A and B are shown apart, each in its own frame.
Chain A
């Protein structure tokens, strides 16, 4: 069976510090990978998605970047965090290639920038 892990679960970082959130998927190959952000009481905003190693698409301009160094690894980064980067970050995956695939989410990472 497939599993998705993301870490850390919670993070408190000062403004201007770097960020690295990691996500790995097991039990599948060549998945589509996603990073979403969720503001309190709101829906999910797609930040980045990737259809393969080194292939990253950004949905919104922001202070964040994403990388996919390996097939089942997706990393969300920032060089200098802003207060507005605080939120709940969710990594997700879906089966690659065909349409209409379910998206499977990790448990999320709470980021508080202080």
Chain B
């Protein structure tokens, strides 16, 4: 299965600390994406990293990709209470034009003020 698996399942930190979430997958990918979901809402795209990239930054977010280990990490620096949400990685592979994304079960992040 292509499914990404996030680790840990739940993470609780204090405001200002860094939060690191990991994602592992099983087969080749074209790219990997991270999404955020507030409770009961749709998913919001955070960042995309292509299979030939190793690191990408966006604001307080830093994503790494190690295709040899089939893993990715999402680092949120200087966390805020508003970062409390579930975070999902999605692996994307293409055998059709639709480029189906396969999501893991997510990491639930709680940032305490």
Residues of A within 8 A of B (CB): 32, 34, 36, 41-44, 46, 49-51, 57, 59, 88, 90, 92, 94, 96-97, 99-108, 110
Contacts and interface: CB of A to CB of B under 8 A. Distances in A.
B41 A107 contact: yes
A32 B99 contact: yes
B92 interface: yes
Nearest to A91: B42
B31 A100 contact: yes
B48 A100 contact: yes
B113 to A, nearest CB: 24
Contacts of B3: 43
A43 B98 contact: no
A49 B104 contact: no
Nearest to B94: A99
Interface string B87-104: 010101010111111111
B99 to A, nearest CB: 6
Contacts of A96: 97
B30 A44 contact: no
Given A94-B98, A100-B92, 8 more contacts: A32-B99, A36-B103, A43-B3, A43-B105, A46-B102, A51-B98, A99-B92, A110-B40
Contacts of A46: 100-102
B73 interface: no
A32 B105 contact: no
